[in-house]
Amino acid sequence: MTKNQKLLDWVNEWAAICQPDNVHWCNGSDEENQQLLDEMIKSGAAVKLDEKKRPGCVAFNSDPSDVARVENRTFICTSKEEDAGPTNNWMSPDKMKAEMLESYKGCMKGRTMYIIPFSMGPLGSNISKIGIEITDSPYVVVNMRIMTRMGQKVLDILGDGDFIPCLHSVGAPLEAGQKDVRWPCASNIDDKYISHFPETNEIWSFGSGYGGNALLGKKCLALRIASNMARREGWLAEHMLIMGITNPQGVKKYIAAAFPSACGKTNLAMLIPPIPGWKVETVGDDIAWMKFDEEGVLRAINPEAGFFGVAPFTSMETNPNALHSADKNSIFTNVGVTPDGDVWWEGIGHDCPEGTIDWKNKVHDPASGQTVAHPNARFTSPADQCPAIDPAWEDPAGVPISAFLFGGRRPSTVPLVYQAFDWNHGVFMGSIVGSEVTAAAIGLKAGVRRDPFAMLPFCGYNMGDYFGHWISIGENAPDKSKLPLIFNVNWFRKSEDGKWLWPGYGENIRVLGWILDRVLGNVDATETPIGYVPKKEDINIDGLEGQEKYMDELVEVDNKLWLEECELIAEHQEKFGDALPKQMKDQFEALKARLKK
């Protein structure tokens, strides 16, 4: 176990408050994992899938009230409200702790308190961090075992060192003799809290058992708390995939990319090139932690050990590597379970078998109009099961990053790809990333929904200060000549009649090829008011029948459309008030001046 007195005192303090029936220190062993799975299968909380079709796999269905991240109940608790910024929900630490403490009293009665020691990042890496999660959910334990390096080996490395304390409860105590429900959670949204205390590196979560609300190593620690630690310590904690790209000449470079949700991030991380000679390998599909090494190279690790992937529309056509990652030893949440013990979801690539049990635990009726899987249904799979996993994905030193990519869904205005003039211009590009939404999108008015650096829900402090941190990374880089180049991509351009101008998916390797050529200095570009745009002949479209006629439009920069875009950017920048760095204002003014020439 451990002799870390601070850790022992913390666990004892919370055990006294939460009043569990038992306290179990997780060792991360196969036996422990199997015992927890067996208990959940026996209780009806989980369904064991067919051992031949899905060896070592189980399926869970959550309560219908607990199916996703709850952004309106996610808080950043800092002494000063302005430190949380305009994009976060804020409450003072004292008020939040007093409110939540009442909820935690006796919340684990009738349950076991599990102590989960976990490392975000390879064990022993100087970029990694150690957290300890207290939870009363065995579902959380088995998921955290996949998503992190978990167990006794972490305590051994921790020794007497410091850790990030993470507290979680489903908020559903059991009275003596009371039968448990299949998915315990607080049914009332107002009884759910996902609270972060960046000044003390603490996470308190209550009432939800789902995903990032409960697996506290994921968005809570790896982004919201880590982004604050990164700002204080001079590194980067980003919502980015990491991938290695090797060209036909055998030259390999690593890139990190940030896209808002529904923009093909996981698909890009696991891309299978359709043209000969190219190779893509996956380091991570969601989060990147990056620090400069002694030679001034920015190196990245994937702090996670698994994928928490969206299941619907993952198929052999869209992302075979993701699908194969979940072939075995995986946990499925809110998918359909077929009569022969396999899984099914919308877009999996074949018809739903009759008699399939849907995510609400009912036999699916095709006439009902209901989906079999929840749109946010997930698979939790070990990263080392991915067929495209990079050989260096667990290298404690991290992989060297040569380029950053930003992008969103933009049917017009934004070209297929363009490159920043310099670091600060690239930061400005990242700060204005967004996707167009239609009037039909629930709760959003039509227009561009900005998601700077794809960090809007995950930045643990004022985003104006976050832009400033990125600027300081460039200013304080040990060797500015080794800073990654910065690009923006847009796979989603459409013609006036609504047709896609670019095929996307695997064909995106052609755009990545141009980016790699720019990194290597192999190709020129056209300077435009917004950045460097490829010459259309420098993007390889061999074998893409009919693509030639779209290339002019794909690389076009329309000054009139961009001046209209500037009006939207002005609105966006106003939100950050005095926290917006002068360099970002200067970049905006320079863009407008170039467009008006």
Phi-psi region of 106 (alpha: psi -120 to 50; beta: other; left: phi over 0): left
Burial class (CB within 10 angstroms; exposed 0-12, middle 13-18, buried 19+) of 596 = exposed
Is 26 labeled as catalytic in the residue annotation?
no
Q: Show the tokens assigned to 376.
A: 């946010």
235-254 burial: b if 16+ Cβ within 10 Å, else e: bbbbbbbbbbbbbeeeebbb
Query: How many angstroms separate the Cα of 592 from the Cα of each of 355, 407, 467, 562?
Result: 59, 21, 20, 9
Q: Show the tokens assigned to 71.
A: 């952004």
Cα–chain center distance at 199: 23
Residues 6+ away with beta carbon under 8 Å from 309? 266, 285, 322, 325, 326, 378, 379, 381
Burial class (CB within 10 angstroms; exposed 0-12, middle 13-18, buried 19+) of 488 = buried
Instruction: Give the integer Cα–Cα distance in Å for 123 and 110.
Output: 34
Neighbours of 317 (CB within 10 A): 13
Residues 6+ away with beta carbon under 8 Å from 304? 120, 147, 148, 217, 218, 222, 284, 286, 287, 383
Nearest to 140 by CA among 63, 209, 87: 209
Give 180-197 as a DSSP string: PPSS---SSGGG-EEEEE
Nearest to 255 by CA among 389, 405, 387, 383: 405
Query: How many angstroms separate the Cα of 111 from the Cα of each of 10, 40, 118, 133, 336?
Result: 19, 13, 21, 16, 28
Neighbours of 53 (CB within 10 A): 14
Instruction: Give the integer Cα–Cα distance in Å for 487 and 514.
Output: 11
Instruction: Give the integer Cα–Cα distance in Å for 302 and 222.
Output: 10
Instruction: Give the integer Cα–Cα distance in Å for 176 and 178.
Output: 6
Cβ-contact 134, 168 below 8 angstroms: yes
Query: How many angstroms separate the Cα of 49 from the Cα of each of 33, 55, 134, 343, 391?
Result: 16, 7, 28, 8, 30
Catalytic pick from 26, 166, 263, 352? 263
* Own/partner long-range contacts of 141-144 (Cβ < 8 Å, ≥24 apart): 141/26, 141/36, 141/114, 141/116, 142/33, 142/36, 142/37, 142/40, 142/331, 143/215, 143/308, 143/331, 143/380, 144/116, 144/118, 144/215, 144/217
Cβ-contact 218, 212 below 8 angstroms: yes
DSSP state of 256: E
Burial class (CB within 10 angstroms; exposed 0-12, middle 13-18, buried 19+) of 389 = buried
Instruction: Give the integer Cα–Cα distance in Å for 140 and 278.
Output: 38
Grouping H, G, I as helix, E, B as strand and the rest as coil, residue 58 is strand
Query: What residues are labeled active site?
Result: 263
